[in-house]
Structure 1
Amino acid sequence: MPAQHPNPESLSPLGGLSLISAEGGQARFQTDEGELSLTVWAPGILRFRLGDATVNDYGLVRAAAAPVPLRVKEEAAAIHLETEAEKPFELALGRAPLSLSLFRDGRSVVAPPQDSHFVRRFRLPPFARTSDGWFFSFDLPFGTPVYGGGEKYSGLNRRGQLVDNWNEDALGVNSERCYKNCPFMWSPDGWGIFVNTPARVVHGVGYPQWSNQSYGAYVDDAVLDLFLIAADSPAEMLERYTHITGRAPKAPTWSFGNWISKAYYRTPEEALDIAKTIVDRQIPCDVLTMDGRAWQDTDTRFAFEWDERRFSDPAAFCAEIKRYVPRLCVWEYSLISVNNPVHAELAEAGYLLKDETGAPYHYEWDLSPFGEVLTPLPASGLLDFTNPGAYAWWRDRHQALFAAGVDTIKADFAEQVLDDMIASNGDDGKRLHNVYALLYNRCVYEACHDAFGDDALVWSRSGWAGSQLAPIQWAGDSQSSWSGLAASIIGGLSWGLSGVPYYSTDIGGFYGEQPTPELFVRWMQAGVLGSHCRFHGIGAREPWAFGEDVEAIAKEWLALRYSLIPVLEDASAQAAECGLPLMRPMVLAFPKEPLSWGFETQYMLGDDLLVAPVIRPGGAVDYYLPEGDWYDFWSGDHIAGGRRIADVMPIDRIPVFVRSGAVLKLGPAVQNTNQIPANRRIATVRVFGRPRPDGARWTASLRMEAGEVVVDDPEIGIDRIP
């Protein structure tokens, strides 16, 4: 537990509640610690804002409020508020101490803690002021699961955990530390809480050292700004949360292709040889990535400059690579070496984060955790994205890279902001630390969008609430191990349950011992059947590096990946419309089947494909098939659901099932997405059993008539599986 967050039993509860006014959709109150405002912000969403301070707003809330009128009734011990709506809100605010009870359509959504003490009503204060911000708590009945909180690796259900929303270079996927955090928690019981802050939030989710009957959180900010969400399903919960913070755009088609990379290609000739080999060996691939040391001079990075000792003509190099692989991605981070003359220029312009004296902050790297993996890195300044001029400078410097032939950016790091750094908007590093990654990735995504429009994408490591607006993110530096594989899957599913629909991992793992052929294949299978797919790590990660048998399996699976692009595109359209992730854990896909929720590494890919990755050596896998009728994707055999299955899979297969009634659109066999004909994006339609009305995203040329699938294009085959 962080030292600055003691057991909250010691905190004094907030009180002194009195009504100031109730007009339209907002009620204002006075408390012992400043003004409280309550707004029924939108259907199913209550905004609770406490504190008088003025703070910098980083645009985490994207939608405008649509307040619902409130009726107020005062009593001696409490103030009651009600709305008129199809599913009305009812609120009760206790005066001393301040507490909140929220009902929707007569059902309790959140209630004050029920955990009492010998000498007081609440063991944990419902609301309290702290030296660094605020604390709040609500009741958490036994057995209530809780999800969200960002990219966390130990499991999806947060019950019993202390969850620290503080971005870190996690150095793996093996602990509570993570690269991407999100102060949004929710339960399938129908409530969600989004803390609108860039600052650190520490959640005790039935955390036994505080209270195993309560959910409580420290918020290290001058204002406590909560969005309380009521929803009838997990899908509606994500829809409402992403209404607040924004929804991801559709990912471009090319991004669903295969990405190949490693840390790192040491010469242009090595990178070009890899690109040629991809074509010679007929490995489907859309993107080759040049990692940091592959194209930068480490001693002077980063300033958008190619290493002149290796790249005399960057445009010619890009053109040569793209003779073989359609797109090129290059690495960056937002730190500028003091050894680069650009550092002095940025310092003079006031474009770098500063220290307490007003001088540019010199960030010194601690390389001890990396051993010999990383080349020594120079002292550097961090770009100040709160300065509009610095933001525009960084964004616009990408255009020269794009003009040379670069197609997208791997935006690495962004966890390096320290507490004593000062931004141009007046915030210190403690408040800027988490949101810095969001500002950085927004900037890079804008640069890509300026150049490529709807084909824009950024491949980033760190993130915060709202990161879905700058897609996509990857898992960071996973250990090359079976546990690293499992934790990477969990991290991606947890990020999806936090409102962000896209995710990728480093197939094979990033660091550690070279993966065995078996581990590499199992990771590749999970990666192929995920949102996005990239081979990357220290050392060889190309499919042919693990022998002929592995290469043959990889080619078969990558062919499957490309055939599923229409499925991924439909799921991406859903993400843009309602906030659903492409990879959907059981609690999201089957909220009425709690027996399935504990199978936390299996997921639905889109609406109809159930994927159960093999995460242990030997091929053994234990999974749950939800209620209903299913089909084995490989054999077409019909299987009844509602049961747990233990299986042992051959090396070239993992369990994949299709929901009965699904109509899968399968694309043509191609080596990259540039080869997909504009008028032939679907090659085959595969119908599993009797088609459901919701079995596909129908179009004018692919539709249901009298309960049967009709395809107008005679070139598209229909494969019916009875």
Structure 2
Amino acid sequence: MRNFICLAVLASCFNVIAFNAYSQTMQLAAGVQKVTSGTIDKFTPYSFCSEQPMSAALSELPAGKLPFSVDDIKIKINDRGVVVEVPLDDTEQLYGFGMQIGSFNQRGLKKRPIVNDNPLNDLGYTHGPTTFYVSSKGYGILINTSRYATFYCGNTSKLNKSKNDGKESNGGNSVEELYKSDNKASGSVTVDILGAKGIEVFVFDGPDLKTAVQRYNLFSGGGALPAIWGLGVKYRVKADFNQYQVDKMAAYFRDNHIPCDVLGLEPRWQTASYSCSYVWNKSFFPTPNEFIDSMKNKGFHINLWEHAFVSPKSPLYEPLKNKAGNYLVWNGLVPDFADTSASNLFADYHKQTFVQPGISGFKMDECDNSNIAFGSGAWSFPELSQFPSGIDGEQMHQLFGLLYQKTIYSIYKKLNQRTYLDVRASNTFASSYPAALYSDTYLHDEYIRMILNSGFAGMIWSPEVRESNSIKDFMRRSQTAVLSAQTLYNSWYLQNPPWLQINREKNNKGELMDNAKEVEGDIRKLLNFRMSLIPYLYNAFADYHFKGIPPFRALVMDYPQDKNTFNLSDEYMIGNDILAAPLTEKMDERQVYLPEGVWYDYNTNQKYEGGKSYTIKPSLTQLPIFIKAGTILPLAKPVEFVAPNTKFEITCYVYGNGNKASLFEDDGLTFNYENGTYNTVNLVWNKNKGEVKRTGKFKSSRYIIKNWQVIN
């Protein structure tokens, strides 16, 4: 008996040692390593990443050095699952875990990045969860799993039998102090992955936070570069509009000279929508192909709403019946997008029926699971679902939005035709997909925070505008939309544009506001600025693709040594030179912190010294932005839409000294840039003179530099 106990103890010791001994570290690319232990799940986010790492761009980044050894990452496998421990010191700040809604700096929090539309007390539920986080010490960690994982972000203290740290309370603390997170706890970020039998941990070097994010995006295949028209204005019409009503709305935009590039059709365009038939409703759209051509001739791209649950009325139902999960949603099939043949069937039908006749994009809805905050939220498939490929319901929920957008995006990629999609859910390694996330939540301050968090996630966020509490609320929301990755007005339940009547009931009765034309004029000013900004934004997205730099990002990414940026969640960089500080309805003024350097108020041209906070009072038609000294800001003459042959007439605004900038120039429509068919337009202000130098293989030009204006 004694010998048996000794052998059991030795076996237990051997298991712990074996887990450490059999962990393997592999260099995947410059500054990217992978630590592997145990038996890896078949269905992980990286297993579906079809884009190759941009190896040359990764090699050009400065070399980084981790603040710890990769060997110090501990992986333990037991009957429960896998536990990963990543070293963490007292001073590190943590960011990431996807499109977090309620939190920004994640240090000291417990996060469960699970796909859902309810933030639920900042626990981590979100439309775009990722198991990727970055540290202010200049590195990123990605746990490659599609299981529900829990991250303890430096808020746990393990028992150390060899010492007593004497930190227990004497009972004199307040209740709040006793129960709040110990965000000074050091030692590790601890990750709990239930049910896993092994894990891959990807490690992205810095040397700083921004470079670590660049490495992640470049390793994912580079950031998305949407079609240039997608950076204009998108307007979604009322859900029950017919062909005549959509045409009438299109005429309204053109007749009133309000910029608009994309019109989105909501559910009624189909014969069935919950679940979806993917068949034109001829009662509402009797001649869909003629309608698409007519809209194209007027400069509009058409975007179709749908979701992926396949109705029995759909031509896809029978072909997909044996390639779907064993539970229905709204009596529709759940395609097994983890199976290539199922994805191909779905994609081929969409290609022939919609894309080839001219549909420019899709809004991919309802792929984010039922609301797990409520017992009544049970419309989607359960976690216990099984799929023919072998993936289970939990993993499919986490990956469904990612695989859905991959399926649709593949259509356009194969046709050498760029797009800009909308999607309700995403996940890890989504950087290369031009799909903007959106949400049914509608708190403005959360929408602003999600712009910042998108930069840590390799995702694109759209703070869409619907109805509002007041004209002030509507205008502040519109300012934020103009200063985001996609300017979108979603009027799916409004008969008229919201700027003509913000009250939903009156809007649908056709009762417009007395000052509707005045508000319309104010909106025109904001949207014209958006159209002026397109060349600058397009260059920022090119930097996203080729260099991995998020076009919209938190200040801490550019100024990681400035402690004032650690928790600053309502200001962000747009490209390299614009700092945005949006206001909400409750604000007539706000405090703005400007990092080191010299900054110019865009509206007044007043200069500000960095490293300080200031009070600003922008009006409802002024954009709350600051321009960094040394910038050449290229602003175009506004156009009402971006046509294939649009040439932007640009005025270069010169702020301060030592100025230079560049613009990315190509056809804006195809993937020919991947073969080097593009130009770099270098702008330099030198000795009181502007210089333009164009280099590259693109034989035409999109930008005409008309004027230079110096801002002293």
Work out the CA distance in 1 between the residues paired with 2:314 and 2:551. 42
Which stretch of the first structure deviates more once superposed, 546-555 or 187-196?
546-555
Given candidates 458, 462, 465, the residue that maps to 1:504 is 462
Q: 1:50 to 1:275 in 2, by over 3 A?
A: same
* Cα distance, 1:55 vs structure 2: 2.3
* Cα distance, 1:623 vs structure 2: 1.4
Q: 1:203 to 1:300 in 2, by over 3 A?
A: closer
Aligned to 2:452: 493
The answer to whether the 8 Å contact 2:663/2:682 transfers is no
* Cα distance, 1:704 vs structure 2: 5.3
DSSP-derived class of the 1:446 partner: helix
Work out the CA distance in 1 between the residues paired with 2:570 and 2:103. 9
Identity %: 20
Given candidates 17, 22, 40, the residue that maps to 2:27 is 40
Q: 1:40 to 1:489 in 2, by over 3 A?
A: same
Q: 1:627 to 1:506 in 2, by over 3 A?
A: same
* Cα distance, 1:454 vs structure 2: 4.3
Aligned to 1:313: 287
Amino acid at match of 2:324: L
Aligned to 2:377: none
* Cα distance, 1:597 vs structure 2: 3.2
- 1:402 aligned onto 2:350: no
- TM-score scaled by length of structure 2: 0.80
The answer to whether the 8 Å contact 1:662/1:692 transfers is yes
Aligned to 1:710: 691
* Cα distance, 1:243 vs structure 2: 3.2
Q: 1:672 to 1:262 in 2, by over 3 A?
A: same
- 1:332 aligned onto 2:299: no
- 1:426 aligned onto 2:390: yes
Q: 1:707 to 1:230 in 2, by over 3 A?
A: farther
Aligned to 2:197: 222
**Cα RMSD over matched residues?**
3.1
Where in structure 2 are the equivalents of 1:66-105 lying within 5 Å?
A: 104=66
Work out the CA distance in 2 between the residues paired with 1:171 and 1:677. 42
Aligned to 1:249: 224
Given candidates 639, 650, 654, the residue that maps to 1:683 is 650
Deviations 1:272-324 (A, max 9, x none): 221111112211000000012x3123367423201133222211222343444
- 1:31 aligned onto 2:18: yes
Q: 1:332 to 1:237 in 2, by over 3 A?
A: same
The answer to whether the 8 Å contact 2:110/2:123 transfers is no
- TM-score scaled by length of structure 1: 0.79
Deviations 1:187-215 (A, max 9, x none): 11123211122222221113368974242
* Cα distance, 1:498 vs structure 2: 1.6
Work out the CA distance in 2 between the residues paired with 1:283 and 1:556. 9
- 1:448 aligned onto 2:448: no
- 1:570 aligned onto 2:523: no
* Cα distance, 1:707 vs structure 2: 8.2
Aligned to 2:3: none
Amino acid at match of 2:241: R
Work out the CA distance in 2 between the residues paired with 1:536 and 1:605. 23
Work out the CA distance in 1 between the residues paired with 2:470 and 2:248. 24
DSSP-derived class of the 2:101 partner: coil
The answer to whether the 8 Å contact 1:47/1:227 transfers is yes
The answer to whether the 8 Å contact 1:575/1:581 transfers is yes
Q: 1:706 to 1:313 in 2, by over 3 A?
A: same
Which stretch of the first structure deviates more once superposed, 36-45 or 278-287?
36-45
Deviations 1:372-414 (A, max 9, x none): xxxxxx3211111122221111111112212433211111122
* Cα distance, 1:673 vs structure 2: 0.9
DSSP-derived class of the 1:719 partner: strand
Given candidates 190, 203, 206, the residue that maps to 1:231 is 206
Given candidates 392, 400, 403, the residue that maps to 2:344 is 392
Work out the CA distance in 1 between the residues paired with 2:203 and 2:546. 22
The answer to whether the 8 Å contact 1:664/1:696 transfers is no
Q: 1:40 to 1:711 in 2, by over 3 A?
A: closer
DSSP-derived class of the 1:473 partner: strand
Q: 1:696 to 1:593 in 2, by over 3 A?
A: farther
- 1:148 aligned onto 2:148: no
Where in structure 2 are the equivalents of 1:660-675 lying within 5 Å?
A: 660-674=629-643
Work out the CA distance in 1 between the residues paired with 2:119 and 2:612. 38
DSSP-derived class of the 1:604 partner: strand
Aligned to 1:582: 551
Where in structure 2 are the equivalents of 1:626-645 lying within 5 Å?
A: 626-645=595-614
Work out the CA distance in 1 between the residues paired with 2:526 and 2:235. 15
Amino acid at match of 1:406: I
Work out the CA distance in 2 between the residues paired with 1:497 and 1:701. 29
The answer to whether the 8 Å contact 1:611/1:656 transfers is yes
The answer to whether the 8 Å contact 1:664/1:687 transfers is yes
Which of the pair has the greater relative contact order for Cα pairs under 8 Å at 6+ separation?
2
Work out the CA distance in 1 between the residues paired with 2:256 and 2:681. 39
Deviations 1:656-698 (A, max 9, x none): 11101100111122111118634xx242111111133568779
Work out the CA distance in 1 between the residues paired with 2:273 and 2:424. 22
Work out the CA distance in 1 between the residues paired with 2:332 and 2:484. 36
Aligned to 1:659: 628
Aligned to 2:323: 351
Aligned to 2:36: 49
DSSP-derived class of the 1:332 partner: strand
The answer to whether the 8 Å contact 2:652/2:705 transfers is no
Work out the CA distance in 2 between the residues paired with 1:385 and 1:49. 26
The answer to whether the 8 Å contact 1:51/1:223 transfers is yes
The answer to whether the 8 Å contact 2:272/2:313 transfers is no
Unpaired runs of at least 5, structure 1: 1-12, 19-29, 67-85, 89-102, 114-125, 356-360, 364-377
DSSP-derived class of the 1:154 partner: coil
The answer to whether the 8 Å contact 2:275/2:331 transfers is no
Aligned to 1:177: 125
The answer to whether the 8 Å contact 2:336/2:342 transfers is yes
* Cα distance, 1:262 vs structure 2: 4.3
Q: 1:600 to 1:287 in 2, by over 3 A?
A: same
Where in structure 2 are the equivalents of 1:432-581 lying within 5 Å?
A: 432-451=396-415, 453-479=416-442, 484-500=443-459, 502-508=460-466, 514-540=468-494, 541-546=497-502, 547-581=516-550
Work out the CA distance in 1 between the residues paired with 2:628 and 2:587. 27
Amino acid at match of 1:275: A
Amino acid at match of 1:435: L
DSSP-derived class of the 2:282 partner: coil
Aligned to 1:27: none
Amino acid at match of 1:709: G
* Cα distance, 1:583 vs structure 2: 1.0
DSSP-derived class of the 2:500 partner: helix
Aligned to 2:139: 191
Work out the CA distance in 2 between the residues paired with 1:714 and 1:420. 58
DSSP-derived class of the 2:398 partner: helix
Aligned to 2:161: none
The answer to whether the 8 Å contact 2:140/2:205 transfers is yes
